[in-house]
Structures are given as structure tokens and as C-alpha cells.
Chain A
């Protein structure tokens, strides 16, 4: 039942956007074309598309994020049951985190964390 309510909220967001756009279409003017069709670049004529290759640095941070976010997702159930696992749970998580920290140190030393 809880999830049905959450799902209803997704529907509500869709209805808000859809309804708002529909109402706006009814009352707002609509005449595309002319210089409005040119991408906005502070009055300059744009040269080429915007869909180009971009800085590889974003990709490296994406990879790092993936590692640490999966780690964090894995740590949620550990955090919930931590009181019952006690010291062994802490030691196991310590080893797990240590591996990831070594990875972070490696990336740090390799200069991945420097923005170029």
C-alpha cells in the first residue's frame, strides 16, 4: 500500500507537467520560427552542433562515483543490522572500506582527482 501511494505521486508529477503544459498551450501564443529557432549563444551565430565529444574527466569521475555509490548502497543493510553483528561486522566492513580507500588513494596518486 505504501508503494501504491508513492506510485500515485509519480502519476501526480506526470499529471502536473502534462496538465500544466496543456493549459499553457491553450492560453499561450504559439508561433515558432524566425530567429527563435537559432540556439542561444549570446547573439552569435552558433558554429556546429552541441552534441560533440566532451572532456574525458567527467567519465573518470563517473567511474569513481559508481564504485563509491555501490559501496554506499551495500553499506545500508550493514548499518541497519550493525547492532546485532557487533565487532565482526565492523572488522569486515573495515576490510571492505580499506580496499576502496586503497582504490581512492591509487586514483589520487595517479592524478585522476585533479581537474584539468
Chain B
């Protein structure tokens, strides 16, 4: 009953060397202390490089995409096509005065950027980039991701409160209300995927999609969860149309009004890396992660798809979701606070709860469009 237009990613080849998946697994398997330490160092260096590289690329891409949506050219003077613009900006921020306002809470004002940056750094370690590339695969994966992701609001709240500035305070309170509200919908959407796959481990969820990505194999419930998660995570990222916490035209900059220099850069970096982690999670949970795109029994096409490395698949899907989020940002106008709360509590939450129960019935009846 396989529909030829629907894709079925391949199952894992039996006996493949994709056994030990994570750096942590390999580190604990090795008997040599130095090898363990080496994996440890590799993980830290890897995340650092990834974080820096992603920050550079994403900020450049965002500016270019924004420019082209507005019929401009965007950065083009620093380096070929302006690719070194972000480096120039980072250096500029580094040489700016790092200033703690005297009226602010001195300790919390410095602690806030750390809390904001903590979320993307930890989440980068949990994402399965390819079958062999993942730093730590927790068996409570999604729960941990939700918990750590919810921690991000603490950085924003503390930043806004400790600044002792009215714009910051208003921005932080709005951000808090918005993020915690939309987190419920995001969690309910993730629960649908846990129901379908029967595991919380992120790599386990990718493996569970070997017969079809949950966004269509999960039927309408999977697709609805995908849409809800996309909306809710855009809101959690404080991006337009959900950017009332930092709406420039009314709050100057919201919670980071009183931040300057490098600590402002940390907030900025955290925001962009969060965009990547959210897109990567969307790709992992709904779009099959690193699984290649397969169509029914078309051996030629499937073979061609298998030839593309899993890491490229993952990056491609993630980039597509990132572009979608940017597209949303430059297309929709900002929502008002009351519209925002209406959308979450009266639209997304009831749909999310109903969707979860429908998904439970689907799992119970084993009603998937693709055979096992």
C-alpha cells in the first residue's frame, strides 16, 4: 500500500559500522585514559568550532536573506561577497567598552549572557548530525532538550530584570510570558513524536524514521505537530512575527537594551545558534534527521539518494528549516500581545492536546501509511 509519491527512507544496512554512535559511547568503551581524554577534547573543540562557524555563517546568511527579501544587496564590502562582515562585526564588538550600568544588579548582569549561551552550547552536543557524529546521546533526549531549552528564558528574564531599565524590564516580562506559553505547545508537539517512535533518545528517533519521516508517516497528526512545533519554536526564538519582547520600534532593544560590547554579542550569538538548534531538532524529529530521501521501490533514485552522505542530508534539511524561519520573519508583521496570547492559549493549545490524543489513537491502531 505504499504510495509511490511518498518517500520511504532506507533502513540501516545490517552489520554496518554505525554501531557506536556518540563520542561519549566511544570514550567510555576505550580502556586507555588518554584516548578518553582525547574524545573529551575533541567534543569541546568540535562544539567550539561549530558554534563559531555557525554564528558567522548564520548572521551573514540572515543579513543576505533579509536584504534580498527587501530588494537590497546586503553586505558586500568586507571580503568577497561580504563574507567577512560578521568577523568584522565581532571584532568591533570585542573592542567596544564592556559596561555594567551602575544602577544594575552587578552579579546577575554578568551572569545573564552565560545562561543565554549555555542553552545552545549544551544542545549542540545532543544533536545527531550523522550516524557517527553525535557527542552525547541521552536516553531522555527530548525531555532533556525541553528542560535545557526552557532554561533559556532564565537568561532573558535575568538580563531584563538585572538591567534596572524600564525597556529591559518590559521586554523581559513579555519574553517570559511568551516563551513559557509557547513552550507548552512545543512540548505537546514533541510528545507526538515520542508517541510515534516510542523512545526519547534523539538518535533512536532518527532510526525510527527509517521507513518514513514522521512529518508524513505520522499522518495528519505528524504534520500538525510539525506545524505547531514550527510556530511555537519561532515564538520561543523571539523572532518576528513573535518579536514583541525586543520590538525595536517600541522597546529599543527589549531585554538587552543595557548590554554593550561582547556581552551583547553573546546574546546575539545565542539567539542565532538557538535558531540552528531549533531547526536541527525539527529536522531530526520530523524530517528524518540524517536519513536519506527515498521514494517507494524506485531503486535507482534510492541508490542515488544513498550516495549523498548522511551529514549532508542533515545539513540540507536543517538549512531548509532555517530558511523557512527567515522567510517567516521577513514576511509577517509583528503580533500584538493579546493576539499572541490568543494564538497560543485558544488556538495552538487546544489543537495540540487534540492532536496528541489523535496521535495516541493512531499508535494504538498501528495506523501508519507505510508497511513495516
Contacts and interface: CB of A to CB of B under 8 A. Distances in A.
A14 B113 CA distance: 10
B138 A69 contact: no
A113 B24 contact: no
B158 interface: no
Interface string A6-46: 10111011101110110111011111100011011110001
Given A28-B95, A50-B164, A79-B194, A4 B363 contact: no
A97 B43 CA distance: 41
A72 B173 CA distance: 23
A57 to B, nearest CB: 8
Contacts of A86: 364
Contact of B266 (A17, A42, A83, A93): A17
Interface residues of A, number: 67
Interface stretch (B58-66, B180-188, B221-229, B279-287): B180-188
B114 A14 contact: yes
Given A16-B117, A24-B262, A49-B164, A29 B183 contact: no
B167 A76 contact: no
Nearest to A18: B114
A68 B184 contact: yes
Interface in B171-203: 173, 176-177, 180-181, 183-184, 187-188, 191, 194-195, 198-200
B164 A51 contact: yes
Contact of B194 (A23, A27, A32, A80): A80
Contact of B188 (A39, A41, A72): A72
Contacts of B200: 76, 80
Size class of the contact patch on chain B: 35 or more
Interface stretch (B72-80, B121-129, B300-308, B316-324): B121-129
A65 B117 contact: no
A1 B125 contact: no
Interface stretch (B4-12, B326-334, B338-346): B338-346
A113 B342 contact: yes
B195 A13 contact: no
Given A9-B125, A68-B349, A21 B184 contact: no
Nearest to B161: A51
B324 to A, nearest CB: 25
A82 B97 contact: no
Given A1-B24, A115-B338, A30 B97 contact: yes
Interface of B: 22-25, 27-28, 40, 43-44, 47-48, 51, 94-103, 110, 113-114, 117-118, 121-122, 124-126, 135-138, 140, 142-144, 146, 150, 161, 163-169, 173, 176-177, 180-181, 183-184, 187-188, 191, 194-195, 198-200, 252, 257-258, 261-263, 265-266, 337-338, 340-342, 345-346, 349-350, 353, 356-357, 360-361, 363-364
Given A10-B118, A51-B169, A73-B143, 6 more contacts: A20-B262, A21-B263, A37-B103, A61-B181, A104-B349, A115-B340
24 contacts: A2-B136, A5-B125, A5-B135, A10-B118, A12-B121, A14-B118, A18-B114, A27-B95, A29-B97, A31-B97, A32-B99, A36-B101, A39-B164, A41-B166, A49-B103, A50-B169, A57-B177, A61-B177, A65-B180, A73-B143, A76-B140, A83-B363, A104-B345, A108-B346
Interface of A: 1-6, 8-10, 12-14, 16-18, 20-21, 23-25, 27-32, 36-37, 39-42, 46, 49-52, 54-55, 57-58, 61-62, 64-65, 68-69, 72-73, 75-76, 79-80, 82-83, 86-87, 90, 93-94, 97, 101, 104, 108, 113-115
